[in-house]
């Protein structure tokens, strides 16, 4: 796992090409550590990608799992859930740059990101059911939220694979780019956002979104109200509002 921070933009690289960027327990722990570092970093946007162009991530490292004793297998599930939850709740804007296979736990990781850029040559799916395994890293509810109950049932229960165009139609990805360019496009988006938006604004808006998604309308409004009060006291807020007003006058 490689975490790089350059100003207000960060990159998280899953660097296990020999295993199609599949995740064993050590890799999951490194990912969790990366989110903890980012949480305190002042970063606005982070790009998550897999090394090479064969796979964003093939999910859990099945060869490693086959060697784990039962207690370590259970710990793997715990770590995967902790990792996906940490990425989901991270107080920065996250962009998945997807090349090649995005399967099982890899797709679960991608679904935690706020934006997903996919190569036109990428492949998506939840193959766990065909191994008598369960997608336990959040796919059973994040896939439903992304594409609806009917499509999620199809993918999770039958284990089929879909191409990037179908993934776009089903809201699993945000946009499709030419093969080999997903990371560059994700970085372009991250840098543009970081050039305009302050870390506090991103953190507060994302917190209001995630806190309000399952709340009542009144609770969701309350979260947004307090977030707005907090951000309106910042110099970035005043600079943004005044800058817009000046442009309007011009």
**Per-chain mean pLDDT for the chain:** 91
> What is the mean predicted confidence (pLDDT) over 192-220?
87
Do 202 and 69 contact (CB within 8 A), yes or no? no
The domains of the chain are located at 2-195, 198-249
Q: How far is CA 76 from CA 53, 65, 70, 81, in A?
A: 26, 8, 10, 9
Name the more confident of 226 and 141: 141
pLDDT digits (tens, 9 = 90+) for 28-56: 999 999 999 999 999 999 999 999 999 99
For residue 17, what is the DSSP state?
Answer: G
Q: Please determine, for residue 224, whether its predicted confidence score (pLDDT) is greater than 80.
A: no
Q: What is the CATH number of domain 2-195?
A: 3.90.226.10
Helices marked H in 89-198: 105-111, 139-147, 149-158, 164-169, 182-196
pLDDT band per the 50, 70, 90 thresholds, residue 246:
low
Percentage of the chain with pLDDT > 90? 82
At 186 the pLDDT is 98
- In 53-155, the DSSP E strands lie at 55-57, 93-98, 101-103, 115-119, 123-125
CA distance 160 to 103: 10
First to last CA, the chain: 48
pLDDT band per the 50, 70, 90 thresholds, residue 223:
low
Nearby residues of 234 by Cβ (< 8 Å), 6 or more positions away = 198, 200, 201
Q: Please determine, for residue 126, whether its predicted confidence score (pLDDT) is greater than 70.
A: yes
pLDDT digits (tens, 9 = 90+) for 130-139: 999 999 999 9
Q: Please determine, for residue 249, whether its predicted confidence score (pLDDT) is greater than 60.
A: no
Asked whether the whole model's pTM tops 0.75, one would answer yes
At 250 the pLDDT is 45
At 209 the pLDDT is 87
CA distance 77 to 140: 14
């Amino acid at each position: 796992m490689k975490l790089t921070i350059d100003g207000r933009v960060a990159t998280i690289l899953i660097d296990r090409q020999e295993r199609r960027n599949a995740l064993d327990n050590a890799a999951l722990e490194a990912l969790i550590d990366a989110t903890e570092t980012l949480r305190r970093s002042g970063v606005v946007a982070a790009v998550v990608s897999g090394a090479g162009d064969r796979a964003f991530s093939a999910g859990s490292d099945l060869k490693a799992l086959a060697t784990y004793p039962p207690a370590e297998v259970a710990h793997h599930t715990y770590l995967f859930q902790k990792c996906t939850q940490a990425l989901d709740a991270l107080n920065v804007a996250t962009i998945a740059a997807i090349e090649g296979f995005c399967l099982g736990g890899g797709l679960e990781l991608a679904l935690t990101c706020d934006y997903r850029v996919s190569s036109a040559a990428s492949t998506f799916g939840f193959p766990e059911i065909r191994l008598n395994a369960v997608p336990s890293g959040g796919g059973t509810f994040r896939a439903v939220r992304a594409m609806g109950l009917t499509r999620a049932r199809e993918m999770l229960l039958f284990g089929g694979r879909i191409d990037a165009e179908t993934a776009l139609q089903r809201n699993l990805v945000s946009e499709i780019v030419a093969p080999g360019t997903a990371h560059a496009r994700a970085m372009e988006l991250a840098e543009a956002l970081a050039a305009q938006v302050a870390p506090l604004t991103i953190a507060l808006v994302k917190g209001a979104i995630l806190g309000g998604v399952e709340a009542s309308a009144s609770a969701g409004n309350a979260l947004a109200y307090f977030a707005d009060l907090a951000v309106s006291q910042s110099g970035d807020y005043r600079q943004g509002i005044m800058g817009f007003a000046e442009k309007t006058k011009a």
